[in-house]
Amino acid sequence: MYTQPKILYEDEYLLAIDKPSGMVVNRGFGAVDTVQDWINSTQDFPLAHNFELRNGVVHRLDKETSGVLLIAKTEDVLRTLQGQFKSREMEKVYVGLVHGMVEPQTGEIDAPVARNPKNRMRFGVVEGGRDAVTKYRVVAHFSARPEGRRLKSANTAEFSLVEFYPKTGRTHQIRVHAKHIGHPIVSDYLYAGRKTARHDRKWCPRLFLHAAELTFKHPKSGERITVKAPLPHDLSKVLAHLSAH
C-alpha cells in the first residue's frame, strides 16, 4: 500500500508534492484514493474542491511513477503553469533503471510517439505521431543476481541508472523511448515484455521510474524554482541489491 503524498514546497499560490508510487493522479475509470481525492480531503484553497478543474492538478504522473507533482491553488496559476508545460519551459528530470548497458553515456532520443492502434492502452514510436524528444545521461552501471535469483540467463544481468530529461510531455514518453533504444525500464509491464517484467518484479516490485526534479518559473514572482524529490526507499532498496561497476 502506498503512503500519503508529502508536501515538498508550498506558498499561497501553489504546492508541489512527492506523489507515492501506486497512487493514481486523476479521478475516473473507477480510481479511488487519487491525488485529487487527497487534495479535496486535506487541503483548503480555491481549487481544492473543484473537481472540474482537477482540484488544481497541473500535470500527471503514471500510477507507478513516483515524484514531483505540481498543484495550483487558483485558476489563473493553473493556466499559467499549464502554459509553461505546453511551451516547454519546464525543466524535468526523471531517474530510471533500465535493462542493459546504455551507450553512449549521453544522448538524445527524437522519435514521434502515438497511441498503439492495436492496443489502446499502449503507446509507441509511430511515424506521423506527435513529436517527442528525450535527452538522457547515464549515472551508473550495475550488474547483479539479486538474492541469488537468475534474472535473464546464466549470465549476470546488466542495468543502467539513467537520468532522463524529457523536452516534450507525451504519455508514456520516457517508457516508450527507453524501449525504442533497446533499454526498457525495469519492471515496465507495458513495454519491457511480459516475461521480462515478470522476472523483474521478483526483485523490483514496481516500475523503476521517479520524477526527481522539476524547475519552473513562479507564476507570480517570475523566480526560477527547483523542487526535488529524493529517490524513495523502495527504489533505493532495489539499488542496494545491485553491484555498481
Q: Locate cell 549521453: which residue?
A: 106
| Dist CA 152 CA 20 (whole Å) | 29
| Dist CA 110 CA 132 (whole Å) | 6
DSSP count for the chain of H helices, then E strands: 5, 12
| Dist CA 174 CA 241 (whole Å) | 24
| 188 flagged as catalytic | no
Alpha-carbon radius of gyration of the chain: 18
Amino acid sitting at position 155: N
CB atoms within 10 A of CB 99: 23
| Dist CA 202 CA 14 (whole Å) | 39
| Dist CA 232 CA 207 (whole Å) | 12
Task: Determine the distance from the C-alpha atom of residue 95 to the mean position of all C-alpha atoms in its chain, rounded to a whole number.
Answer: 8
Catalytic residue, chosen from 62, 131, 188, 200, is: 62
Amino acid sitting at position 136: Y
CB atoms within 10 A of CB 93: 20
Q: Locate cell 526483485: which residue?
A: 203
For the annotated catalytic residues, the residue numbers are 62
